[in-house]
């Protein structure tokens, strides 16, 4: 991975179809290192597909994608630099919410106390569920836990699909502030969202999918 | 839309309408065709397996002691009770649970057909058990009353167990207490079989069981079961909704698993329900070991009951001491899969969806290396305890069998992980045409995944089959094969530049 590259993400001529239905046609996108970009657009226009391709979770029909100067892949180096919430999460059986957070911290060589696990769970409003197993929590609480885990561990790029979903207004403000701080620390954020106010509070520049030359999938 | 209360309607009418509407979508004669194929299936399978069925239920000469008969009775009783509890026992089909349970119909009439079905099923299972016990234990000729009444006692016992399970379905305290009692009954039954095998208990005398005892027991049981059944029908409507919904989900998952030939559906359901019932308290992961080893150790700590069962299961291979040596060796090797599988759910999670491995940023090589440790130690200790016990009972010749058991640890670990990483059955594989019909290769390959790696334990099987004293050379050979095999599995199925386990 080329750490000297100026662009965190470079997408050129990306095309994806589902069967005979084209979703993305000749899409181009550049996200500089340290920038926050929020892709907006109506449902079905291809925001999630674009994010999945950039996170190497979906193969494109055509086009080039570079993340930090190299092709995105399934290597551990890639996943130590990139965190995504594009996929629905799974949880380890028999492990509580707090233990999931500790596991993630320890896997990245962080001390759980120094990493501020308890503060993170408190900030995301799930401290009272620290001893619960994640499958027993509501969808909103699981969404908060996913974001908390994503922000607890070190990374250089966050790829988030509608992070404001299932969060109450207070939660949205809190997550937006955390993303703003992440950008201020030099991290890069690419997200898809329907909430312009949330994206602005997170410090992200908004780009419409239509401007990326995607076609309407309806 | 009106906000008025709806009048109660008759269940039978609704069910008749559903049946009529569904049959209108079916082709003419489809039900008859299904019935024909079911009968044909039973006749063909019965014809193919009649010798095996005779050996199971009614061998030519009795081959079990009175103690073994009593122990088998306990095993069947405990096993049948737990099976009934896992199935509900009172459930509805998924469509009926969704639409009729919430409809304004009589709950008792809605649930009564399910009660009848469950009672008949439990009674048939109990009767077959009673029949098999007479067949294995009673000296020939079997006394007339015993031959007829023991299956009847089995059927009544089956019905009684169903009614007890029905009471447990409605009461959480009673369900936990009765489940523990059933586990205890099974443990006592297994212990009885092990003692019988080691001690060669005496066979039942001619005329066993005494006609008066059997008749009295049958009459008493008939009275108790009839009373319990009447009480159950009276209280049927009080069965809580969530318990009926849970049972209908279980039945649905079992059907999905059977039709899709996908056992992982059931494994996943059992795992999910087990942890959903537990009340956990967050603990710190042990910092002195690699992070995934620490996670497996935490999981191990949370399954003390499984560890007790594993300790008890070390005695089970002693049941096969009269079987050929290779059978005993193979049974010992397969037991290691159960021991290693105590923490395998974490690997199943990662193999099914690598989201968490991506979040952890670990390569598949790092992940599997760390995941091998706990199953390896568990399997090694289980093998060591089992072989030492067999040696102590005089079923194995002299030698350091404990060391051979520990040397088998890597085999158990690699086999456990291979099994856990298999994931869904690949039903896209081409079926094999055999003289007995098409044979699905996907489920067969899935079934042997993990067992194939146990071939690395072949030196142990040969050693047990030969019956010669074990030398340290034998231990070193097995240890070398195990370590080389486990390393080959690791390097052949993982990579340092890939996160996904499959």
Do residue B231 and residue B95 come from a single domain?
yes
The stretch B324-332 carries a mean pLDDT of 93
Q: Which residues of B touch A87 (CB under 8 A)?
A: 353, 355
Band of pLDDT at residue B436, cut at 50, 70 and 90 = low
Q: Which domain holds residue B473?
A: 290-425+442-493
Residue B2 inside a domain? The answer is no
Residue B15's Cβ-count burial label (10 Å; 0-12, 13-18, 19+) is: middle
Q: Position of tokens 């105590």?
A: B342
Do residue B369 and residue B460 come from a single domain?
yes
- Alpha helices of B88-141 — where are they, by DSSP H? 94-99, 107-137
Residue closest to A78 by CA, chosen among A57, A106, A63, A47: A57
- Res B371: pLDDT: 97
Do residue B77 and residue B202 come from a single domain?
yes
- DSSP line for B435-447: TTEEE-HHHHHHH
Q: Position of tokens 């069947």?
A: B76
Q: Are A37 and A31 in contact (CB under 8 A)?
A: yes
Residue B330 inside a domain? The answer is yes
Buried b (16+ CB within 10 A) or exposed e, B90-109: bbbebebbeebbeeebebbe
d(CA B502, CA B497): 13
Which tens digit of pLDDT belongs to each residue from B149-196?
888 999 999 999 999 999 898 888 888 899 999 999 999 999 999 888
A177 touches chain B (CB under 8 A): no
Residue B7 inside a domain? The answer is no
Q: Lowest-pLDDT range, A39-48, B20-29, B58-67?
A: B20-29
Q: Which residues of B touch A118 (CB under 8 A)?
A: none
Q: Position of tokens 């069998």?
A: B401
What Å distances lie between residue B55 and A125, B209, B461, CA to CA?
63, 21, 26
User: What percentage of chain B has pLDDT greater than the value 70?
Assistant: 98
Q: Which residues, at least 6 apart from B77, have a Cβ–Cβ distance to it below 8 Å?
A: B157, B161, B182, B185, B189
Of the candidates B259, B281, B299, which is a domain's last residue?
A: B259
B residues 365-394 lying closer than 8 A (beta carbon) to A: 366
Q: Six-digit token pair at B64?
A: 């079990």
| pLDDT (tens place) for every residue of chain A, 218 residues total | 444 457 999 999 999 998 888 889 899 999 999 999 999 988 888 899 999 999 999 999 999 999 998 889 889 999 999 999 998 889 999 999 999 999 999 999 999 889 889 999 998 889 999 999 999 999 889 989 999 999 999 999 999 999 988 888 888 898 999 999 999 999 999 999 989 999 999 999 999 988 886 443 33
Contact A98 B359 (CB under 8 A): no
A188-192 and A157-161 strand pairing: parallel
* Continuous segment of H or E residues that includes residue B433: strand B432-434
Looking at the DSSP bridge assignments, the partners of residue A189 are A36, A158
Q: Which residues of A touch B280 (CB under 8 A)?
A: 94, 96, 131-133
Q: Six-digit token pair at B300?
A: 């191990």
Residue closest to A70 by CA, chosen among A156, A154, A153, A149: A156
Do residue B251 and residue B299 come from a single domain?
no
- Res B239: pLDDT: 84
Contact A76 B362 (CB under 8 A): yes
Residue B35 inside a domain? The answer is no
Looking at the DSSP bridge assignments, the partners of residue A27 are A14
Q: Six-digit token pair at B157?
A: 């016992």
Crossing angle (nearest 10°) for helices B364-392 and B304-313: 40
Q: Position of tokens 């790829």?
A: A159
**Mean pLDDT over the full length of chain B:** 89
Do residue B217 and residue B359 come from a single domain?
no
Do residue B216 and residue B106 come from a single domain?
yes
Give the three-state DSSP class for A72: coil
d(CA A175, CA A183): 12
Of the candidates B219, B243, B259, which is a domain's last residue?
A: B259
Residue B152 inside a domain? The answer is yes
Instruction: Locate the DSSP E strands across chain A.
Output: 7-18, 21-32, 36-40, 62-67, 82-84, 157-161, 188-192, 205-208
* Continuous segment of H or E residues that includes residue B185: helix B172-199
> What values do phi and psi take at A30, rounded to 5?
-125, 130
Do residue B193 and residue B309 come from a single domain?
no
Q: Are A104 and B359 in contact (CB under 8 A)?
A: yes
Do residue B343 and residue B474 come from a single domain?
yes
Closest partner residue to B282 (CB to CB) among A106, A131, A153 is: A131
Give the three-state DSSP class for A83: strand
Residue B193 inside a domain? The answer is yes
- Res B220: pLDDT: 93
Angle formed at CA B99 by CA B97 and CA B105, multiple of 5 degrees? 95
Contact A135 B276 (CB under 8 A): yes
Q: Which residues of A touch B287 (CB under 8 A)?
A: 106
Which tens digit of pLDDT belongs to each residue from B351-404?
988 999 999 999 999 999 999 999 999 999 999 999 999 999 888 999 999 999
Do residue B330 and residue B391 come from a single domain?
yes
Do residue B79 and residue B197 come from a single domain?
yes
Residue closest to B85 by CA, chosen among B177, B155, B222, B188: B177
- Res A216: pLDDT: 38
DSSP B27: P
Q: Which residues, at least 6 apart from B243, have a Cβ–Cβ distance to it below 8 Å?
A: B88, B90, B169, B170
Q: Is the pLDDT of residue B14 over 50?
A: yes
Of the candidates B259, B282, B299, which is a domain's last residue?
A: B259
Do residue B308 and residue B236 come from a single domain?
no
Which tens digit of pLDDT belongs to each residue from B305-324?
999 999 999 999 988 888 88
Residue B391 inside a domain? The answer is yes
Which tens digit of pLDDT belongs to each residue from B101-146?
888 888 888 889 999 999 999 999 999 999 999 888 888 777 777 7
Closest partner residue to A102 (CB to CB) among B280, B284, B299 is: B284
Q: Is the pLDDT of residue B199 over 90?
A: no
Q: What's the pTM?
A: 0.85
Domains annotated for chain A, with CATH where assigned, are 7-212 (3.40.50.300)
- DSSP line for B321-385: TTS-HHHHHHHHHHHHHHHHGGGTHHHHHHHH-THHHHHHT--HHHHHHHHHHHHHHHHHHHHHH
Residue B30 inside a domain? The answer is no
Report the residue count for chain A: 218
Q: Six-digit token pair at B318?
A: 């002693």
- Res A213: pLDDT: 66
Q: Lowest-pLDDT range, B66-70, B199-203, B280-284?
A: B199-203
- Res A214: pLDDT: 45
Q: Which residues of B touch A93 (CB under 8 A)?
A: 271-272, 274-275, 299, 345-346, 349
Q: What does R_g of chain B's alpha carbons equal in angstroms?
A: 26
Do residue B218 and residue B125 come from a single domain?
yes
Band of pLDDT at residue B92, cut at 50, 70 and 90 = confident
Q: Is the pLDDT of residue B88 over 60?
A: yes
- Res B437: pLDDT: 66
Looking at the DSSP bridge assignments, the partners of residue A38 are A191, A206
Residue closest to B209 by CA, chosen among B296, B127, B151: B151
A74 touches chain B (CB under 8 A): yes
* Continuous segment of H or E residues that includes residue A79: helix A76-81
Buried b (16+ CB within 10 A) or exposed e, B432-448: eeeeeeeebebbeebee
d(CA A148, CA A27): 31
- Alpha helices of B393-498 — where are they, by DSSP H? 401-407, 409-420, 441-448, 458-466, 472-493
Q: Are B499 and B353 in contact (CB under 8 A)?
A: no
Counting the structural domains of chain B, the total is 2
């Amino acid at each position: 991975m080329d750490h000297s590259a100026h662009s965190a993400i470079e997408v050129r001529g990306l095309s994806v179809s589902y069967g005979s239905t084209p979703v993305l046609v000749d899409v181009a996108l550049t996200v500089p290192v340290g920038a926050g970009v929020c892709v907006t657009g109506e449902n079905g226009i291809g925001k999630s597909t674009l994010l999945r391709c950039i996170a190497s979770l979906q193969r494109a029909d055509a086009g080039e994608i570079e993340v930090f100067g190299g092709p995105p892949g399934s290597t551990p180096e890639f996943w130590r630099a990139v965190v995504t919430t594009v996929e629905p999460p799974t949880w380890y059986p028999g492990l509580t919410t707090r233990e999931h957070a500790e596991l993630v911290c320890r896997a990245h060589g962080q001390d759980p106390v120094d990493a501020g696990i308890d503060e993170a769970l408190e900030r995301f409003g799930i401290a009272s569920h620290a001893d619960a197993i994640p499958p027993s929590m509501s969808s909103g609480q699981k969404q908060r836990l996913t974001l908390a885990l994503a922000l607890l561990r070190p990374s250089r790029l966050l790829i988030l699909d509608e992070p404001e979903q299932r969060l109450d207004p207070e939660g949205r403000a809190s997550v937006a502030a955390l993303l703003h701080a992440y950008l201020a620390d030099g991290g890069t954020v690419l997200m898809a969202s329907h909430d312009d106010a949330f994206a602005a509070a997170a410090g992200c520049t908004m780009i419409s999918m239509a401007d990326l030359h995607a076609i309407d999938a309806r | 839309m009106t906000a008025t209360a709806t009048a109660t309607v008759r269940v039978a009418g609704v069910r008749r309408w559903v049946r009529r509407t569904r049959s209108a979508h079916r082709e003419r004669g489809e039900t008859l065709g299904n019935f024909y194929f079911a009968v044909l299936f039973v006749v063909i399978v019965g014809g193919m397996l009649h010798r095996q069925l005779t050996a199971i239920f009614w061998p030519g000469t009795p081959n079990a002691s009175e103690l073994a008969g009593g122990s088998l009775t306990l095993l069947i009783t405990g096993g049948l009770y737990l099976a009934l509890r896992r199935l509900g026992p009172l459930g509805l089909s998924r469509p009926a649970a969704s639409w009729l349970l919430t409809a304004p119909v009589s709950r008792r009439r809605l649930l009564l057909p399910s009660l009848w079905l469950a009672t008949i099923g439990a009674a048939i299972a109990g009767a077959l058990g009673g029949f098999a016990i007479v067949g294995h234990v009673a000296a020939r000729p079997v006394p007339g009353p015993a031959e007829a009444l023991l299956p009847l006692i089995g059927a009544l016992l089956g019905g009684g167990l169903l009614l007890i399970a029905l009471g447990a379905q409605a009461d959480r305290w009673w369900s936990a207490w009765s489940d523990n009692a059933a586990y205890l009954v099974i443990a006592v039954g297994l212990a009885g079989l092990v003692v019988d095998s080691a001690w060669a208990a005496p066979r039942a005398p001619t005329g066993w069981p005494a006609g008066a005892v059997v008749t009295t027991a049958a009459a008493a049981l008939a009275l108790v079961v009839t009373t319990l059944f009447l009480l159950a029908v009276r209280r049927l409507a009080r069965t809580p909704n969530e318990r009926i919904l849970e049972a209908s989900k279980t039945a649905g998952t079992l059907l999905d698993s059977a039709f899709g030939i996908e056992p992982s559906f059931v494994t996943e359901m059992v795992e999910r329900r087990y942890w959903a019932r537990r009340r956990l308290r967050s603990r710190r992961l042990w910092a002195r070991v690699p992070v995934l080893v620490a996670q497996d150790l935490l999981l191990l700590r949370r399954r003390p009951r499984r560890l007790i069962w594993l300790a008890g299961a070390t005695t089970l291979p002693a049941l096969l001491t009269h079987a050929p040596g290779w059978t005993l060796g193979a049974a010992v090797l397969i037991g290691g899969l159960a021991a290693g599988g105590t923490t395998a759910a974490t690997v199943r999670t990662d193999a099914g969806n690598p989201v968490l491995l991506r979040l952890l940023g670990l390569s598949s090589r790092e992940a599997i290396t760390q995941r091998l440790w706990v199953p390896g130690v568990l399997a090694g200790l289980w093998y060591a305890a089992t072989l030492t016990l067999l040696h102590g009972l005089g079923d194995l010749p002299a030698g350091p069998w404990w060391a051979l058991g520990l040397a088998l640890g890597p085999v158990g670990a690699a086999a456990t992980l291979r099994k856990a990483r298999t994931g869904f059955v690949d039903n896209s594989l081409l079926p094999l045409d055999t003289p007995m019909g098409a044979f699905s290769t996907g489920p067969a390959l899935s079934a042997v995944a993990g067992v194939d790696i146990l071939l690395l334990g072949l030196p142990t099987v040969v050693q047990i089959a030969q019956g010669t004293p074990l030398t340290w050379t034998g231990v070193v050979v097995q240890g070398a094969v195990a370590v080389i095999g486990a390393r080959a599995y690791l390097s052949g199925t993982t990579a340092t530049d890939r996160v996904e386990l499959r």
